[in-house]
Structure 1
């Protein structure tokens, strides 16, 4: 082999190595580390900010629910279910996409109903407060150390979220008894849920919602508190 050819091969080899190392450095530098973003705002509703740390409750409970389905569908590879795509016209989506929408819409309904409940002077009674606290304690106790650290959740924060959910539920019950749902097919409970037609088409448009899409696109639901080992 001629000397020039050897030099060319060496140069190409060195260039390839540099390119590979550069790509690895870039991936490392741009990798998304969930725990580093816990105090960033994910969603703002009428000026009420929700951090990723608080949103961790919705991620954890949504993943827990869907993971049970995933394990029934394919015990050896639950991600098979998370990555399943359903074709339904404009509503076609992956299970993971549906799960994220569910988590977000659930929060939206909770915070909107909670704020309306406060404006209406509603409050939880002592028994309801105690029930919320007990649920928060039980949920936190069953979380693994990994998921506690991963989500940044603690008993106090979980209790706050559950309390907000329960007070919001009281307002939703009030709406179910007093609103006119003519023109809608489902029963009031389903219509008023976060993904319900009445909530999505009548209630939600009355509020200002700002989503941190840049952050949300990095949230790989189905791999945050489950399927991450």
Structure 2
């Protein structure tokens, strides 16, 4: 009887050891930052069944990094990385930036799909303005060697920017129909949050949390 109990105990301990090992491996994996340009096909988020990969997220990552870096240089031009590591409002600036990039991407995906259903497109003037914005953004990104670090092509960035422009256009239309200000439907707007609740999205944390914001297109 004792031998049986001992055998059962050994089996239980072995199973627990395996579980602990798997947990430790997954935890370690979650803590490791990814090399962005080696994971472009990894899914970062699913919005209403549509998968957005890190390639789709590249524009938003670059946009947010460049914006925050401007603030970082004002804070400490000699060592802007200090700003990225500031802990404010309960989290680090780099974490806030990562959340903002994701929020913008989800926001644009929702409004872009809504725009498609209503056959909303850009006018010739809007296309021309977009073309200028695309060139400026690509120039700024290339200036910091950002495209190479992201691993994306010009067409990837331009595609995301066009999608964002169409989303923004429909956001304005939607806000008008709701007798609201366009800012009410920004990704941090109150009315947008209610709209978001009616949609389904799931962030792939194992991928997204390993994106090292502040060090994707930038070198700190």
Q: TM-score, normalised by structure 2?
A: 0.79
Q: CA deviation at 1:189?
A: 2.8
Q: CA separation in 2, counterparts of 1:134 and 1:175? A: 26
- Superposition deviation, residue 179 in structure 1: 1.0
Cα offset, 1:108, TM superposition? 1.2
Look up the match of 2:10. none
The structure whose RCO (Cα within 8 Å, separation 6+) is larger is 2
1:175-201 per-residue CA deviation (whole Å, 9 max, x = no partner) reads 2212155xxxxxx2332111222212x
List alignment gaps of at least 5 residues for structure 2. Answer: 1-27
Q: Which residue of 2 aligns with 1:155?
A: 154
CA distance in 2, matches of 1:31, 1:177: 42
Q: 1:96 to 1:145 in 2, by over 3 A?
A: closer
2:214 maps to 1:222? yes
Contact (CA 8 Å) 2:45, 2:204: kept in 1 or not?
yes
**Secondary structure of the residue that 2:44 maps to in structure 1?**
strand
Residues 33, 212 of structure 2: 8 Å contact kept: no
Alpha-carbon deviation of 1:131? 2.3
Q: Where does the alignment leave 5 or more consecutive residues of structure 1 unmatched?
A: 1-25, 182-187
CA distance in structure 1 between the aligned counterparts of 2:210 and 2:195, rounded to whole angstroms: 28
The 3-state SS of whatever aligns with 2:46 is strand
Residue 165 of structure 1, CA deviation: 0.9
In the other structure, the counterpart of 1:21 is none
CA shift digits 1:145-194 (9 cap, x unpaired): 7321211222212221111111111111112212155xxxxxx2332111
Residue of structure 1 in register with 2:190 after alignment: 197
- 2:108 aligns with one of 107, 110, 117: 110
Shift of the alpha carbon at 1:31?
A: 6.8
Corresponding position of 2:145: 146
The two structures have a TM-score, normalised by structure 1, of 0.76
Which secondary structure state, in structure 1, belongs to the residue aligned with residue 145 of structure 2?
helix
Give deviations 1:29-78, integer Å, cap 9, x for gaps: x7733221011111111122211122111111100000010011011211
Deviation >4 Å, runs of 4+: none
Matches within 5 A, 1:1-229: 32-87=34-89, 92-142=90-140, 143-144=142-143, 146-179=145-178, 188-200=181-193, 202-228=194-220
CA distance in 2, matches of 1:146, 1:125: 32
Displacement of 1:84 in angstroms is 1.0
